Structure 1
Amino acid sequence: MTMESILNLARAGRVGRIVSVLRYRHLSRHLRARQRPLSPPGKERLVAALTKHYFRDPPDYLSTQAGKKDLDDHVIGRTYVDRRTIVPWLDTLFRLDGAKIIEIGCGTCSSTVALAEQGAEVFGYDIDEASLAVGSERLSIYGVKADLIKGNATEIPAAQIAEVNAVIYFATAEHMTLDEKLSSFSAVWGSLHSGAYLIVVETPNRLWWFDSHTALLPFYMWLPDDLATHYSRFSPRFPFNERLRPPVTAQTLLSLTRTGRAASYHEFELSLGGLSALQISSLNRWNRGNLLQFAKWFAVDRSFEKWLRRHGPRVGNAFYESYLQLAIRKP
């Protein structure tokens, strides 16, 4: 390695640290000390597992710029963000070390690693066998344990829910059908013990004017599903803009839902009952303890969020933010 290469790496490291300080809140020493490193051989194993099991369609996707970015995000990006945001926020609600957590939609276990390395006992559910295969490999690479179960969110035993500190829908609620959401939210809420949490993270809010999750289009989440299917061809996001084609069938609509169709306070009110008296904590609000995050929210999101609150029912401010990232404590 040349001296110039070493200097470039050093500069990149300094820039990364500066960005981290600006973007994220301070990470406590006890959380940072438990993080497991990803070795170069481990990274190679993870890339191989993702390439074999997860990134299967379309065949040339990983050779595109978007595909390369997506792969890098699945290898290190998601775990890094989870460690800097979701994990420290959860640790303010209940101590992760020794906690029992059901993670619905564990996928390839980026978030599962971030939870398990902190000492949490995690039960990860997902409907996709390929994702679970990658997840099992990722857990092995990092040297942590979790119970991975192939199953739908509606199939979790009530007795298991009653024993945990939290049930987390991790970037999952937006991929569930309406019946799945209503059934699962109702069952979880009915089975949680007092003081435990129903938690939703990284789910786009259906009320928001711009869909930054699925179509990258304005007002897309407001469209009925059949119209959204037809309109998907105008999306700038590849391969989403080529995946859905008329005629609109039940399978097409399910494919749209599995890609992501958001959620709002309506499903929670139907499943949990009145929301106004419940204790609801917001990850978005916690993140705004960082000055850069606060400035972004104040400049970009605050006005529309305020408009929604003015015209909507009293259900808690967290239900009017651009993404639903909230923890509801069982009384």
Structure 2
Amino acid sequence: MYEQHIINDSGTLRQIEEALLATYFKNYDQAFLQTETGQEDIKANVFRRYNNSLTHVVPWVARQIDLRGKTLVEIGSGTGSSTAAFAHFVEKIDGYDIDGQALAGAQARLKVMGLNNVDLHLVEAEQLVETLRKNHPNGADIVLLFAVLEHQTIRERHETLKLCWQLLNPDGLLVVTETPNLLQYTDFHTSLLPFLHLLPATLYARYADHSPREGFGGCFAKADSMSLQELDTSIMRWGRGASFHDFELALGKDHGSYLVAHGFEEEILSWVDVHFEEELLRHYFLTKKLDVPLAFSRVVLNVIYKKSERPSAELALVPESIFVADKQLLREQNSIIRTLNERLAVTEKHLNEVLSSKRWRIGNLIAAPYRKLKALLS
């Protein structure tokens, strides 16, 4: 059902790439686009994010709601990867973004793919909430935030979440996916450095040039001349992560009761494996008996909230079998166990050969009288 929409045709892929190079990547440093990092960025926008959405996110959402005939609002639609993936299955999509070049790329992608059930809207970040209220008086069945919350300021993020919840029709879904968790040890999303995302803005900016990510550190060379608010916003636009605190403040203390998917489902686990870092955070949650859904222990947040008058009594428990306290130790232990099992198999085979041999049977018969005599003497 979903695999049939995977794009394997080289001609279509080439058209999408040419469209994005002429729009979204138009003002990029062309030398950067020739680097390995630049080429990976192009591939991610051309087909990888689309394929991941189609393979993992769409069926994950479809598990919670019948997509047929549904309306979907996507905030932060970017170059249209997830937009196009969902457009195959829902009736109507409205996509919003603050980047005109990204929307131009999305429009070109949709045209190449022959998808005509999507309206794209360019909006200023400060006008997003007001625009959504105005454009959707009848609400929506699904609101999708795909890798967007981490790029918003705190105020934008909370206003967006509140409005998304208000926009949803009864039993509608708020889908937040591929959002880095602020509560992790390493910033896998932006700087690729440990703890940087947890530092105050000024310290963050001064340390950023230690990042191995090409073209990142230099962005804060003029940080000393920026106001604290400007600096914080700049860091947020790069992506700093969200946490359960955001959802609790925006949706209420009981937000966990509306969760219907926590990111440990098969579709997500096959996409985002369980990291050692998040296992440490999960153990902390449990040890401290924190009233926090385990969805917020994951390195990448993938959660679905359902706007139901009767929130779920309890989300399905996370199976213990997916957790490993130390994966390297487990691999070493498994290797030892395999070696011991192999040795045991060889020994058992040799023993069976001995027991079935003619020499052993004759020797056993000869030794029988002596065993009886020994038993009598003892």
Q: Give the TM-score range, shorter chain.
A: 0.7 to 0.9
Aligned: 1:43 with 2:13: yes
Aligned to 1:11: none
Map of 1:1-331 to 2, 5 A cutoff?
A: 30-33=1-4, 35=5, 37=7, 39-55=9-25, 56-145=27-116, 146-151=118-123, 152=125, 153-154=128-129, 155-157=131-133, 160=136, 162-245=138-221, 246-247=223-224, 248-249=226-227, 250-275=229-254, 278-282=257-261, 284-287=263-266, 296-297=273-274, 301-311=278-288, 313-331=290-308
Please tell me the residue identity of whatever aligns with 1:60. A
**By how many angstroms is 1:288 displaced?**
7.0
Maintained 8 Å contact 2:6/2:54:
no
Higher relative contact order by CA 8 Å / sep ≥ 6: 1 or 2?
Answer: 1
Other-structure match for 2:318: none
TM-score, normalised on structure 2?
Answer: 0.73
Amino acid of the structure 1 residue aligned with 2:241: A
Given that 1:161 and 1:167 are in contact with CA atoms closer than 8 Å, whether structure 2 keeps it comes out as no
Following superposition, the deviation at residue 59 of structure 1 comes to: 3.3
What displacement does 1:89 show?
A: 0.2
Q: 1:276–1:315: 8 Å Cα contact kept in structure 2?
A: no
1:137/1:232 Cα in 2 relative to 1: closer, same or farther (>3 Å)? same
After superposition, give the CA deviation of every residue in 1:146-170 in whole Å (9 maximum; x if it has no partner): 1101124423126727531111111
Q: Any conservation in 2 of the 1:106–1:124 contact (CA below 8 Å)?
A: yes
- Give the alignment's TM-score, normalised by structure 1: 0.83
SS of residue paired to 2:77: coil
Q: How big is the shift at 1:82?
A: 1.0
SS at structure 1 position matched to 2:157: helix
Q: Is the 8 A contact 1:305 1:322 kept in 2?
A: no
- Indicate how the Cα distance of structure 1 residues 220 and 287 shifts in structure 2: closer, same or farther if over 3 A, else same: farther
User: Which stretch shifts more, 54-63 or 169-178?
Assistant: 54-63
Q: What is the rounded CA distance, in whole Å, between the counterparts of 1:201 and 1:257 in structure 2? A: 17
C-alpha separation in 2, matches of 1:77 and 1:132: 18
Deviation of residue 236 (structure 1)? 0.6
Q: Distance in 2 between matches of 1:279 and 1:80?
A: 28
**Counterpart Cα distance in 2 of 1:308 and 1:58:** 44
Change in CA separation of 1:83 and 1:161 when aligned onto 2, cut-off 3 Å: farther
Superimposed CA distance per residue, residues 62-105 of structure 1 (whole angstroms, 9 cap, x where no aligned partner):
11011111111111111111111101101101112221110110
* Corresponding residue for residue 14 of structure 1: none
- SS at structure 2 position matched to 1:131: helix
User: Partner residue of 1:24?
Assistant: none
- Using the TM superposition, give the Cα deviation of residue 266 of structure 1 relative to its aligned residue in structure 2, in angstroms: 1.1
> Which stretch shows the higher mean deviation, 112-121 or 151-160?
151-160
Query: Which secondary structure state, in structure 2, belongs to the residue aligned with residue 187 of structure 1?
Result: helix
The structure with the largest alpha-carbon Rg is 2
1:137: Cα distance to partner?
Answer: 0.3
Shift in Å, 1:299? 5.4
- CA 1:313–1:156: 2 relative to 1, 3 Å: farther
Detail structure 1 runs of 4+ shifted over 4 Å in the superposition: none
1:43 Cα offset (Å): 2.3
Report the AA paired with residue 143 of structure 1: G
Distance 2:301 2:137 in 1: 22
Amino acid at match of 2:73: I
CA RMSD of the aligned region, Å?
2.3
> Contact 1:199–1:327 (CA<8 Å) still a contact in 2?
yes
> Do the aligned partners of 2:3 and 2:55 also contact (CA within 8 Å) in 1?
no
Distance 1:53 1:300, change over 3 A: same
Give the whole-Å Cα distance in 2 for the aligned partners of 1:202 and 1:100.
21
Is the Cα–Cα contact under 8 Å of residues 162 and 192 in structure 1 kept in the other structure? no
